[in-house]
Structure 1
């Protein structure tokens, strides 16, 4: 099963208003995503260039597993970003289709 996750910074203009500690958590978030990629869970991830939201697609066995992955992301766990989970289907993928 595939799921899209949309994460949004809690703070307005996060790139300008984020603290050093919050940016350290964003670095943890990046490492978390790299680990999911290594485990073949993460399909794609990236931020909107003005830091209004981040988007990722993961593949898991269940919605519960996907929700746990989303909730354990450091930026979500530490209240830097809100997150929403959506059932998703990757219909076309460069290099695969």
Structure 2
């Protein structure tokens, strides 16, 4: 399987796990807390492959492993409700980019989440963080 197909499959699985998780989740919502909760802030990470990985032949096993760890981390964050959406464009490696919309307490926590991504930490992808106003959301 080519690296581009591997990435596309991994990100498609994120989408499927989100749909399957929401369909299978029949647990009742917890009772509302009387303590005021801080407003949820949303952020957007734009992920891009580093230039050396624009050619599939340049991918090492370590690069592929980082993508697998990245995917597992996103799956876990979807399961907890932190990640709202994750995916990538379906373009050649030199043009593609990924998006992650997620919640965090503040910009420092959001930056920590981004920098803790295995692909960012291991130099497979670069990430740019943006505050994000989530206006509409599917239920």
TM over 0.5: yes
Q: CA deviation at 1:13?
A: 5.6
**Unaligned segments of structure 1, at least 5 residues:** none
Greater RCO between the two (CA within 8 Å, min separation 6)? 1
**Unaligned segments of structure 2, at least 5 residues:** 1-40
Instruction: Please state whether the residue corresponding to 2:45 is helix, strand or coil.
Output: strand
**Alignment length (residue pairs):** 95
> Which residue number corresponds to residue 9 of structure 1?
49
Higher strand share: 1
- Decide whether the 8 Å contact of 1:70 with 1:83 is kept in 2: yes
TM-score computed with the length of structure 1 as normaliser: 0.89
Higher helix share: 2
Aligned alpha-carbon RMSD (Å)? 1.5
TM-score computed with the length of structure 2 as normaliser: 0.63
Which protein is bigger by CA-based radius of gyration? 2
